[in-house]
């Protein structure tokens, strides 16, 4: 079909606007499925999960296949060299957490990233770049435990590894987003020979549309497939990691890998307008903050305020501000610090947090005190480059999984011969007590580096249930913005009755106590609304380019209770996102 010249010109102009403005994203229709659906930031990974569902695997089996495939096709954050959290809902009604967060190596110490001048070390050798930046990876152990204990039993470990192995051995087509993103991070990756060779083609760069084969990673995945998941921690892969670390001054040893343990934890539960919210406990700060915010919001008629009103934005900012103040004060790894979770989630306490709220005036961040009295500041520096995926199967099992290398492409280090990128998760600890991090949050002792400790996180994989049945599976990457992204997606569904695709695509805002400002996605808030917010005393600004114009990546699934239909909603902020269902 040929278009008239004027129409072609208009279409070209629209295409140029969208290409130049990353925060402009067309809403995508949700994928409707009768049986099972997988939603992730990458089409190949979603298809890998769907392949396992079709073979008889359940949501846990499919989630493991999806997570392993992202290692190959989304090295920006997908990994077996990092860690994260898997929230599982079983069709029999059980909810549980697999905590496979990275841990500090035995050689780690409180001041390991502080130089002789008393200041934080920058660049290679810091907590962000190079061989010293990595915590002990947990992804393989976490996936293995989940699949062994909660998988269907109809597919094997070898089955769930196969899609990822095949993608690495046979290759996958490089998307325009991946090609551009690898160039964007060339400075980090180019510092390390193995990473430069694999991810930058020794400076020639991968082009959109080319078939990218990763033979070393394929061999690693084949070893895991043949010898089982412990191979990563005690076999040839472990040796390759430990030898490379020793050669380059890194901290992870064979003993660290062998001694890594996954933690199973009890979920957090809360209520909001007749719905049950099931979410992450510490060492994620996200679940407590999420439940606090919904508890503070419950007395207000949010729908009556109007979706994009200044009144709603003001209320949300004040709720966020108070939850993030408590987050900064009380949270850390519960295996190392006492987290007063029950007190923080007590309904009377939550009600009291809004006692000084005014619909007309913002409370200055400096005036928002921690509600339980002085404890110890713990807020982490946390990078925004994480990834989330959601899975629901035909039986009603569900997985909400968020995992990360921490920063984009982690530490930048690739293990020679293994083809896997390592995390820079040590940067999620408090590297210098009392110093504000890059987000302006004060860091403290509760999140200080201790061998074997897990760093505090904002990752907030979550479920929403009605009458005991799953109606929403969601989560997001985005560092501290994760919590508020998940909060707004859930509110969009419950308060404004939005379908999943609209709830995910809707513009987002963020307030995190310090710095004391509301940030919003480009084109989100109108000038007159901004004026009204400023009149209430709110500081407000558009997200800057270094933050990424858009906020989060909420790969979400909604389930219609009457029909049982599953609606997979890929977030249009990720060009390669896909919902794959049947």
Q: What is the mean pLDDT of residues 503-522?
A: 95
Token pair for 416: 């020679």
CA angle 503, 505, 509 (to 5 degrees): 85
pTM to 2 decimals?
0.94
Structural domain span for residue 468: 1-171+213-582
Q: What is the pLDDT of residue 398?
A: 98
Cα–Cα distance between 49 and 137 in angstroms, integer?
22
Render pLDDT for 40-65 as a digit per residue (tens, 0 to 9): 999 999 999 999 999 999 999 999 99
Q: Decide if 303 is inside a domain.
A: yes
**Burial annotation 422-449 (CB, 10 A radius, 16+ → b, else e):** bbbbbbbbbbbbeeebebebbbbebbbb
Q: What is the pLDDT of residue 546?
A: 79
Residue 557, phi then psi, degrees to nearest 5: -125, 130
Segment 20-40, tens digit of pLDDT: 333 445 678 999 999 999 999
Domain for residue 202, yes or no? no
Q: In what order do the strands lie in the sheet with 268-272?
A: 31-33, 566-569, 556-559, 469-474, 462-466, 275-279, 268-272
> What pLDDT score was predicted for residue 6?
34
- List b or e across 44-75, with b for residues whose CB sees 16 or more CB atoms inside 10 angstroms: bbbbbbbbbbebebbbbbbbbbbbbbbbbbbb
Average pLDDT over residues 133-159: 98
Which of these, 465, 511, 523, lies nearest to 490 by C-alpha position? 465
**Beta-carbon contacts of residue 578 (< 8 Å; ≥ 6 apart):** 39, 40, 42, 43, 46, 47, 570
In this structure, is residue 189 part of a structural domain?
no
pLDDT at site 381: 58
User: Which run of H or of E encompasses 344?
Assistant: helix 341-344
Distance CA 146, CA 281 (A): 17
Please tell me the predicted confidence (pLDDT) of residue 44. 98
Average pLDDT of 323-329? Answer: 90
User: For this structure, is 386 an active site residue?
Assistant: yes
Q: Helix or strand or coil: residue 390?
A: strand
Strand-strand pairing, 83-89 and 398-404: antiparallel
214: which residues sit within 8 A by CB, 6+ positions away? 72, 168, 171, 198, 419
The answer to whether residue 280 scores a pLDDT higher than 50 is: yes
Contact criterion met (CB below 8 Å) for 279 and 290? yes
pLDDT on residue 443: 56
Stretch 334-340: mean pLDDT: 88
Percent of the chain with pLDDT over 90: 84
Per-residue pLDDT for 551 more than 80?
yes
Burial of 220: CB neighbours in 10 Å, binned 0-12, 13-18, 19+? buried
Q: How confident is the model at residue 553 (pLDDT cuts 50, 70, 90)?
A: very high
pLDDT over 70 percentage in the chain: 92
**Mean pLDDT score of the chain:** 92
Is the pLDDT at 139 greater than 70? The verdict is yes
Task: Please check whether residue 411 is in contact with residue 423, taking contact to mean a CB–CB distance below 8 angstroms.
Answer: yes
455 domain residue, yes or no:
yes
Nearest Cα neighbor of 265 from 136, 95, 141 is 95
Of the candidate ranges 8-12, 46-50, 501-505, the one whose mean pLDDT is the lowest:
8-12
Q: Which residue has the higher pLDDT, 384 or 397?
A: 397
- The CB density around residue 376, as the number of other CB atoms within 10 Å, is 15
At 444, is the pLDDT very low, low, confident or very high (cuts 50, 70, 90)?
low
pLDDT(14) > 60: no
Please tell me the least confidently modeled range out of 323-337, 342-356, 563-577. Answer: 323-337
Q: Helix 43-54 vs helix 157-170: angle between axes, to the nearest 10 degrees?
A: 140
pLDDT at residue 15 is higher than 50 = no
Residues 6+ apart with CB under 8 A from 382: 406, 428, 439, 456, 457, 458, 479, 480
Element holding 265 (H helix, E strand): strand 263-265
Look at 170-179, 233-242, 371-380, 488-497 and tell me which has the smallest mean pLDDT. 371-380
Of the residues 384, 386, 481, 519, only one is catalytic, namely: 386
Does 120 score more than 80 pLDDT? yes
pLDDT given for residue 565 in this prediction: 98
The rounded distance, in Å, linking the Cα atoms of 468 and 350 is 24
Region at 497 (left for phi over 0; alpha for psi -120 to 50; beta for the rest): left
Give the chain's domain count. Answer: 1
Residue 17 has pLDDT above 50, yes or no: no
| Residue scoring higher pLDDT (17 or 252) | 252
What does the pLDDT read at residue 374? Answer: 59
In 3D space, the residue among 371, 326, 295, 324 whose CA is nearest the CA of residue 512 turns out to be: 324
Please indicate, yes or no, if residue 463 is contained in any of the structural domains.
yes
Lowest mean pLDDT among 192-196, 330-334, 414-418, 566-570: 330-334
Whole-number pLDDT of residue 430? 82
Identify the pLDDT of residue 448: 85
**Of residues 62, 27, 141, the one with CA closest to residue 389:** 62
Cα 532 to Cα 415: distance, rounded to the nearest angstrom: 53
- Specify if 329 maps to a domain: yes
The pLDDT of 388-397, averaged and rounded, is 98
**What pLDDT does residue 548 have?**
86
Q: Are 555 and 490 in contact (CB under 8 A)?
A: no
- Mean pLDDT of the 354-365 span: 97
Cis peptide before 515, with omega less than 30 degrees from 0?
Answer: yes
Does the residue 268 lie in any domain?
Answer: yes
204 in any annotated domain? no
Query: Could you read off the pLDDT of 454-502 as tens digits, one per residue?
Result: 988 999 999 999 999 999 999 999 999 999 999 999 999 999 999 999 9
């Amino acid at each position: 079909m040929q278009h008239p010249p004027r129409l072609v010109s208009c279409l070209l102009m629209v295409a140029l606007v969208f290409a130049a403005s990353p925060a402009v994203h067309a809403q995508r229709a949700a994928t409707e499925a009768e049986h099972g659906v997988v939603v992730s930031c990458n089409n190949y990974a979603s298809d890998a999960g769907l392949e396992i569902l079709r073979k008889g695997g359940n949501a846990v089996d499919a989630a493991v296949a999806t997570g392993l495939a992202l290692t190959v096709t989304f090295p920006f954050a997908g990994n077996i060299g990092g860690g994260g959290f898997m929230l599982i809902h079983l069709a029999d009604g059980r909810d549980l957490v697999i905590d496979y967060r990275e841990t500090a190596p035995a050689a780690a110490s409180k001041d390991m990233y502080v130089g002789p001048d008393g200041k934080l070390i920058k660049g290679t050798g810091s907590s962000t770049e190079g061989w010293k930046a990595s915590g002990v990876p947990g992804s393989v152990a976490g996936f293995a435990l989940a699949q062994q204990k909660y998988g269907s039993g109809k597919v094997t470990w070898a089955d769930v590894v196969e899609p990822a192995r095949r993608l690495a051995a046979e290759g996958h087509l490089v998307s325009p987003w991946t090609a551009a993103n690898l160039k964007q991070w060339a400075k980090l990756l180019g510092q390390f020979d193995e990473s430069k060779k694999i991810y930058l083609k020794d400076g020639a760069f991968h082009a959109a549309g080319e078939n990218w084969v990763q033979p070393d990673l394929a061999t690693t995945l084949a070893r895991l497939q043949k010898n089982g998941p412990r191979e990563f921690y005690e076999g040839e892969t472990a040796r390759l990691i430990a030898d490379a670390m020793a050669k380059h001054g890194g901290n992870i040893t064979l003993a660290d890998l062998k001694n890594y343990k996954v933690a199973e934890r009890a979920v957090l539960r809360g209520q909001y307008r007749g719905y049950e919210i099931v979410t992450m406990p510490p060492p994620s700060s996200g679940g407590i903050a999420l439940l606090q915010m919904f508890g503070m919001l419950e007395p207000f008629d949010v729908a009556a305020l109007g979706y994009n009103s200044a009144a709603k934005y003001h209320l949300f900012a004040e709720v966020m501000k108070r939850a993030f103040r408590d987050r900064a004060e009380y949270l850390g790894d519960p295996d190392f610090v006492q987290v007063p979770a029950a007190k923080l989630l007590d309904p009377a306490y939550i009600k009291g947090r809004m006692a000084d709220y005014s619909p007309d005036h913002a409370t200055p961040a400096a005036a928002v005190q921690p509600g339980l009295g002085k404890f110890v500041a713990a807020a982490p520096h946390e990078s925004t480059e994480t990834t989330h995926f959601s899975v629901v199967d035909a039986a009603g099992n569900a997985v909400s999984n968020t995992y990360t290398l921490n920063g984009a492409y982690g530490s930048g280090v690739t293990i020679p011969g293994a083809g896997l990128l390592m995390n820079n998760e040590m940067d999620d600890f408090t590297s210098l007590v009392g110093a504000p991090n890059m987000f302006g949050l004060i860091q403290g002792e509760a999140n200080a580096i201790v061998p074997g400790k897990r760093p505090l996180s904002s990752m907030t994989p979550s479920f929403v249930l009605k009458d005991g049945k799953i109606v929403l599976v969601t989560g997001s990457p985005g560092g501290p913005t994760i919590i508020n992204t998940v909060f707004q997606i859930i509110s969009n569904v419950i308060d404004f009755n939005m379908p999943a695709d609209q709830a995910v695509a809707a513009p987002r805002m963020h307030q995190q106590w310090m710095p004391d400002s509301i940030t919003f996605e480009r084109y989100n808030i109108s000038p007159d609304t901004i004026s009204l917010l400023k009149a209430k005393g709110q500081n407000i600004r558009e997200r800057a380019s270094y933050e990424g114009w858009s906020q989060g990546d909420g790969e979400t699934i909604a389930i219609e209770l009457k029909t049982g239909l599953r609606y997979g909603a890929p977030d249009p902020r990720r060009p390669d996102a896909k919902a794959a269902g049947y």
